[in-house]
Structure 1
Amino acid sequence: MPGAAPNAVAQMLGLLGDEWTLLIVQQALLGSTRYGEFAAGLPVSHAVLTNRLQTMAAEGLLTRREYQIKPARSEYLLTPQGRSLWPVLTSIWHWERTWVPDHRPPLPAMCHLDCGAEFAPAVTCRSCGAPAGADDRGERVVAQWGPSGSWQRSIPAATNRRRSAGRRVDAASLFPETMSVIGDRWAFALLVAAFVGVGRFTDFQSQLGAPPGTIADRLALFCGEDVLANTGGRYALTAKGRGFFPILVCALSWAQRWFPAPEGAAVILTHRACGREFSPALVCDRCGARLRGAQIRPV
């Protein structure tokens, strides 16, 4: 409805649709806390890094703490809100290892410390424990707008300048191709639309309300990355595109936890296997145990 406040989806896109925010969270989860550590680990200008650290602290993803007085020095620590992004980052890590084999150097595998095995995260229903994988998304999980949901309320008010499709962040990043896909708010929104069944150019434009050039650019990017395929004028998710399902549902779950609307959820996901509202839980594909962020390490 016109004039209504942005919902959880819009707030999530506004934060996670920025490539530097995700890259800074990634570095923080790996142990970086000080400005110099972030600067050394990321191909980012000082002006951009300073701005993002300040913005992320204001948004509640980081907290700033002074550790030295003369000269003044501060460190940036993840808040519970920022730390709870680990399922999103873990899903991205697995997607990159699976679908982007040309990383230089190759991405490390993930080790589950509880069982000691190299593993892949599997998405399940938190209520019943049954699988809810990307290939079965259409059969197992269905989506509908909730009380605060609509495309108008789900689009962020502003967009950040994004990298060109051919540019990659360097090897300091664990997920360079993910950034070319979701490092832009309109691209992330378009991918969500594809997951709920939008397929034609005019439908993307009318649903999202974006300029035609913006839609054409993002569709070309996704086709170039083999995330979408154009068949007879209709765009459909490829197997690689469907592999984004855990990333999207984990990001949505995070958003609706931290940005609840008074009138209710923006999106309601239902798990058909149990008939209950779907909330994702990541498990180890080797031992079946529920994953925890502190129990995941690169190997």
Structure 2
Amino acid sequence: MPGPTFTTLEPGGDNALAVTLGVLGDEWNLWILRSALLGARRYGDWIARGPISHAVLTARLGRLTEAGLFEKVAYQQEPVRHEYALTARGRSVWPVLVSMWAWEQRWSADAGARLPRRRHTTCGQLFVPRLVCDACGAPADAHDVTVRTGPSGERSRCVPAATGRRRSGRAARTPDVVPHTMELVGSRWSAALLGSAHLGATRFGEFAEQMGAPPAVVTDRLRRFTELDVLAPRPHPDRADWVTYHLTDKGLAFFPVIACMVAWGQRWFNAPEGPALEAVHLGCGAPFLPRLVCDRCDGTLHAATVAIEDAAGEDG
């Protein structure tokens, strides 16, 4: 059988970050992928699992198939009916989902009832993933990794168009599975501000320059991230009437999600100029690639050893 296929992006066009946020910065896409990891393959499987409409499911399955996460396979000929099988690209999204669920569980008081349980089949225990450097195995957090923009990392190429148009109105239904995560990566400006913060921006002008957003938008996103306790304002050391914004423990703890999303995107979507971001682990000096390990046995987590179990009381 042919090996995994990768997508080569258009020169000068959307980079891996834009494509990744367009795919994974959407609640319904994440819900569909979660259900697929729990065994959903046919259209009716998703309809039976939750309150998704036919129109939304059809559109999202089409987008995920076009992005290479599903393969549409005929399982019946008369009449022709299809099921959606996860590809290697789709199956490899599990570290992103596991990291999101762990962060939601840690920082959202009501998350436990709606999030799936994660069991490491090697040791048999429910686990919380820990992030380490793949090269040296040492723990890695936001302070242990330095990140810079790469050859395709221009700001204009990082804009996730799909997530910017994700909702046509505030009344639109969502699955509400990872609402805190979606506050951070579920819109173009939130994702841009979060990325700027992790790249070292602290002042209003730095955020505005890196985001390329109007001042009113920057002000609104800084206010919202402060309300969410992801950023904390501090007095400016040189100007009493200015403030700087710094990632809190909650904001820093989101780093594994970012690291896994970037690694997934840059693995499967290649810009001809080179990567959008380049990261180095300060502990060993090697290019940083994330690896998740079990907090119970320290064993490396693999797709084959991570069992996703439905949370009690899930719809469907």
What TM-score results when the alignment is normalised by the length of structure 2?
0.84
1:293: which partner in 2? Answer: 303
| CA–CA separation in structure 2 for the residues paired with 1:216 and 1:162 | 21
For residue 289 of structure 2, the aligned residue among 279, 293, 296 is 279
Given residue 80 of structure 2, which amino acid in structure 1 is its aligned partner?
Answer: A
AA matched with 2:294: C
Gaps of 5+ in 2: 1-10, 236-242, 310-316
Whole-angstrom CA distance in 1 between matches of 2:167 and 2:248: 23
More displaced, 194-203 or 100-109? 100-109
How far does the alpha carbon of each residue in 1:198-235 deviate from its partner, in whole angstroms, 9 at most, with x for none? Answer: 12333222211123343333333322322222334322
The answer on 1:30 being equivalent to 2:38 is yes
The answer to whether the 8 A contact 2:208-2:214 is kept is yes
C-alpha deviations, 1:245-297, integer Å up to 9, x for none? Answer: 00000000011111122222211100111111000000111111110123222
AA matched with 1:228 = L
| CA distance in structure 1 between the aligned counterparts of 2:207 and 2:167, rounded to whole angstroms | 20
Cα–Cα, structure 1 residues 162 and 211, in superposed 2: closer, same or farther, change >3 Å?
farther
Once the two structures are TM-superposed, the CA of residue 164 in structure 1 deviates from its matched residue by 8.2
Task: Return closer, same or farther for 1:208/1:287 CA change in 2, 3 Å cut-off.
Answer: same
Q: Name the CA distance, whole Å, in 1 between partners of 2:279 and 2:195.
A: 13
Corresponding position of 1:115: 123
1:200/1:234 contact within 8 Å kept: yes
Provide closer, same or farther for how the CA distance between residues 170 and 153 of structure 1 changes in structure 2, counting only shifts above 3 A: closer
Distance 1:47 1:217, change over 3 A: farther
**More displaced 10-residue stretch of structure 1: 119-128 or 185-194:** 185-194
Q: Report the residue type matching 2:307 in the other structure.
A: R
Match of 1:50 in 2: 58
- Secondary structure at the counterpart of residue 301 of structure 2: coil
* Residue matched to 2:195: 192
Q: Distance in 2 between matches of 1:68 and 1:83?
A: 24
Q: Secondary structure at the match of 1:57?
A: helix
Specify the alignment match of 1:180 in structure 2. Answer: 183
Alignment counterpart, residue 262 of structure 1, candidates 264, 269, 272:
272
Deviation at 1:241, TM superposition (A): 1.1
Tell whether 2:218 aligns with 1:215: yes
Residues 28 and 175 of structure 2 are in contact (CA less than 8 Å); yes or no, is this contact kept in structure 1? Answer: no
Determine the structure 2 residue equivalent to 1:152: 156
- Check 1:10–1:170 CA distance in 2 against 1; reply closer, same or farther (3 A cut): closer
- Moved >6 Å (runs of 4+): 163-168
Moved more, 228-237 or 257-266: 228-237
Task: Give 2:299's aligned amino acid.
Answer: A
Count of aligned pairs between the two proteins: 291
TM-score by length of 1: 0.88
1:71-102 Cα deviation digits (max 9, x unpaired): 43221111111111110001011111111121
